[in-house]
Amino acid sequence: MIARGARGVGVIVGVIVGLLAAAPVAHAQPADDSDGVIVVNGGASTDELAKLRKRIEALGVLQPTSAAVSAALENEPPYDLQPIKDAYASFEFDRADELIEVALGELFANGAPDQMAAGAGELLYWRGLVADNADRGDDAVAWFAAAFRIAPDLEIDRGTTSPRVRGLIDAARAGRPKTRTLYIDTAAVEPGTADLMIDGGAPQPLAEEVDLAIGYHLVVVTARKKKPFAALVDIRAARDNGLEVVLDDEDDVSRARRLRVETLDARTTEDRLKRARRLAKLTGARRFLVIEGDTDPRVRVYDAVADTESAPMALKKATQPSVLAALLGVDAGALGTDPPPWYKRWYVWAAVGAVVAGGSVGLYAYSQREPTRITGF
């Protein structure tokens, strides 16, 4: 009897765990009685965001969504550099190279256009370090040259760069390679609708030919309500170099990124609440904690169900546990303790209820593509 009961509990747990994987449903409508909170960042630092998210999680109301959508709304890079640093520090250079490739894929698939250059420069710098330590000096120089071409202001990690490596970096930065033409196939892009950015430069109308120095370059193409196209192209001397540009329709990540900008740009409560309702449709959250201002960030909370806006409050004050609980209108009893157990969180049972009521739950699938590297045709 006990064994049979344990199996039954195991089945229930298995079902609910499965539902948790499906909980962040794309285009979900917020339930009127949900407390889900999403952060929309327009000024907080990475450390401030981490503290704020931890405390919202402790309240049990942080809306579950994909890491890519959260990063888009918080204006954070869609990859984590720390595992790359850890692999490098452990002399696991093949592993570090694999992680860099994955991170480039995440950046190109889910990064904001204005993040691409800084992110690519950072990742290629680490690829140069890995190549050097794997005794591939020529590759290291090529990656360093690309890193500082794409991100000229990139800061060197003094803890990982020996005098020899700094010499390679100086040589890479001083190089003046010849140029070749990149031929861009724009047949799949509606004329006059897209902009082109090369190596983090200013947007310009998409052209069919661009002269570039021999080596690696970052090419980003953008158009309104389209998913950005990003590629790392390898310009070589002894061949024609080509790139086909295809702009896909917006996905949830690029839509979240656009709605973030539109939310921060809105100047009236009515417009903010309109954007909040659109974000609610995208994420399933009810409340949106919006952070504005670089030097003195301020916080407002928008409720997409009640159509309300809180008074502005300094981020530092809003992050205080009791103040945050009051701001979000939730019980502060759990603050200062571990996050509530998964089975006590509202979205677990909301997901269960959705299955009972509707017979099925949509599965949110987060996918990433490998970085596009063009080697000519």
Contact between residue 113 and residue 146 where contact means Cβ atoms under 8 Å apart? no
Q: How far apart are CA 13 and CA 47, in angstroms?
A: 34
Q: Tell me, what's the pLDDT at 18?
A: 47
Q: How far apart are CA 49 and CA 289, in angstroms?
A: 11
Q: Tell me, what's the pLDDT at 332?
A: 61
Q: Tell me, what's the pLDDT at 23?
A: 41
Q: Tell me, what's the pLDDT at 162?
A: 81
pTM (two decimals): 0.76
- Would you say the C-alpha torsion 352, 358, 359, 361 has a positive or negative sign? negative
How long is the chain? 377
Q: Tell me, what's the pLDDT at 297?
A: 94
One-letter identity of residue 225: K
Query: What is the 3 state secondary structure string of 121-143?
Result: HHHHHHHHHHHHHCCCHHHHHHH
Write the DSSP symbol of residue 258.
Answer: H
Q: Is residue 139 packed enough to be buried (19+ CB in 10 Å), middle (13-18) or exposed (0-12)?
A: middle
The first and second tokens of residue 375, run together, are 């080697």
* pLDDT mean for each 10 residues of the chain (377 residues): 43 43 43 75 94 93 93 94 95 96 96 94 95 89 94 82 83 87 95 95 96 96 95 94 95 95 93 93 94 91 93 95 92 52 46 41 33 39
Q: How far apart are CA 263 and CA 133, in angstroms?
A: 45
* Helices assigned H by DSSP within 59-136: 67-74, 82-89, 93-110, 113-133
Contact between residue 77 and residue 71 where contact means Cβ atoms under 8 Å apart? yes
Write the DSSP symbol of residue 296.
Answer: S
Q: Tell me, what's the pLDDT at 98?
A: 97
Helices then strands, counting H and E runs in the chain, come out as 13, 13
Q: Tell me, what's the pLDDT at 333?
A: 56
Indicate the pairing of strand 194-198 with strand 204-205: antiparallel
Which phi and psi (to 5°) does residue 91 adopt? 65, 25
Indicate the pairing of strand 308-309 with strand 313-314: unpaired
